[in-house]
Amino acid sequence: MTTLQEFRDLFSSEALAPGQQLSVKNIALLFSDLKGSTSLYEGVGDASAYGRVNRHFDFVRQRVIRQHGTVVKTMGDGVMAGFARLDDAVAAAISMQREIRDWCASEGIDPALTLKIGVHHGPVIAMTANDHLDYFGRTVNLAARLGETARGGDVMLLDDVYDEVRSLVALDSFSVERFTAEMRGIDRELTLVRLVVV
């Protein structure tokens, strides 16, 4: 229920009493962020940049909802979204990367915005924070770090997560790059997969 947008719109602040926690066995999380937003503000000014960032939230939200997910929160110019199914999260990420340039052109946004996206799944703790249902824990941290690792125009996954979805999601228009990297706050190297639209 917590990954349904309608539920969150109606009951997010009432789902759990303050201080109460709920363990969720498996949820897929998508973190998106705008690349170069600081230079965007410098280049076009505060009002114009804010307008572009704000409209991009609608773009992301529409694609999250289309894939049966929910926007958990926005942070600066980034979005955290939750999905009941991993393949829906990856499909939402792919649709964002495939469609962002055409959407920017239709909105008169030039240069086009560039998204950095990370997707991960696993157990989380759900609790009410700032009057809204939010998620916390290792899965959340990994998904956020994957988004930070993205270069822009790509979708970042752990290697084992990629193996779970490659037969479920159409990845034919993406190049696949595997590599190992360290991520902030994680004490070991991880094998990552970068999907890039070709």
For residue 153, the 8-state DSSP code is: S
Spans of the chain, pLDDT less than 50: none
How do residues 153-198 score in pLDDT, each as one tens digit?
A: 999 999 999 999 988 777 777 888 999 998 888 888 999 999 997 7
pLDDT of residue 84: 94
pLDDT of residue 168: 72
pLDDT of residue 44: 78
| Residue entry with tokens 């996954």 | 157
Largest Cα span, the chain: 46
**Contact assessment for residue 178 and residue 154, using Cβ atoms and an 8 Å cutoff:** no
* Residue of 78, 77, 71 whose CA lies nearest to 46: 77
Pairing of strands 115-129, 154-158: parallel
**Contact assessment for residue 149 and residue 189, using Cβ atoms and an 8 Å cutoff:** no
Superfamily of domain 20-153: Nucleotide cyclase, GGDEF domain (3.30.70.1230)
Q: How far apart are CA 195 and CA 198, in angstroms?
A: 9
